[in-house]
Amino acid sequence: MRDRRESGQVAVETAIVLPMFVFLILGTLQLGMMHQARLMTKYAAYKAVRAGALHNANVKEMERAAIAVLLPLISSSTGGGGETIKAIESATDFQMKYVWASKNTMMDAPGMKYADVTICGPLRNEMGATSGELDFDNPSRITSTGDWAQSQRSKLRIQVTFNYRLPIPFADMVIYNIARAKEMPPVLRLGNGKDKTEYVTGREMKGGVGKYDTAAQSSLYILPIRATYTMRMQSNFYLGANPLPDKNECVFPFETQQ
């Protein structure tokens, strides 16, 4: 009888400890991969802003440059919540994967890109024009008085958001839910400032993460990783083809409950 009680106790203890032990292993792997993704996103931001500096601040060119850097980390769904990452071991592997990744559209997550580039500046009102061609090295737009704000007119400032698909089973769900459950301003959260719903400790707030939660309902767990970079323009702005933003959308203000 005693042996039966001890056996039952061991079974209960195992049922409690085993999930934690499994998460410890899988979570460590996932966090290590997320750290790699963060470092690669920083480099992708550099390559993206360099492409923008050379190609008239063209967002599509910048996103292609970012994807080329992030390609080894981009995964695709195998169905049933699984993710596969195709290894790149040759130029042929790179070309084959880049063909579909360069479209920059997640087929299983509508409205989401693998790499999303946002122009932080210069803003349209800083340039004093709404159309036409603006010389990036026009002396009249760059003062020599040390005015920092005016010196930024010739610099392209961007933010790259890498929508990182968590590939490790079980750990993806746990880490996603941990990241979503904390109450914090949107600047530190998953939202991009454009969606209109965000779940924060049981309350509905503005500025949110609707598309991430929608993907999570299909067992697709995505965390945005962001990096910014600034570089002086080396080509002219064409405001008609590549319009500059009216405001800095790279800053996500905290909005209180309405």
| Predicted pLDDT at 150 | 65
Tell whether 6 is covered by a domain.
no
Tell whether 4 is covered by a domain.
no
Q: What is the pLDDT of residues 97-113, one digit of tens each?
A: 999 898 999 988 888 99
Mean pLDDT of 15-40: 86
Number of domains making up the chain: 1
Tell whether 192 is covered by a domain.
no
Q: What is the pLDDT of residues 120-149, one digit of tens each?
A: 988 877 776 666 777 777 666 555 445 556
Tell whether 255 is covered by a domain.
no
Tell whether 227 is covered by a domain.
yes
Kindly indicate the confidence band of residue 257, based on its pLDDT and cuts at 50, 70 and 90. very low
Kindly indicate the confidence band of residue 27, based on its pLDDT and cuts at 50, 70 and 90. confident
| Predicted pLDDT at 206 | 38
Domain coverage including residue 164: 11-187+209-238
Tell whether 197 is covered by a domain.
no
Tell whether 111 is covered by a domain.
yes
Which of 36-45, 71-80, 99-108, 122-131 shows the lowest per-residue confidence on average (mean pLDDT)?
Answer: 122-131
Tell whether 28 is covered by a domain.
yes
- Sequence-ordered list of residues with C-beta below 8 angstroms from that of 45, at least 6 positions apart, any chain: 66, 158, 159, 160, 227, 228, 229
CA neighbours closer than 13 Å in the CB half-sphere of residue 192: 23
pTM of the model: 0.78
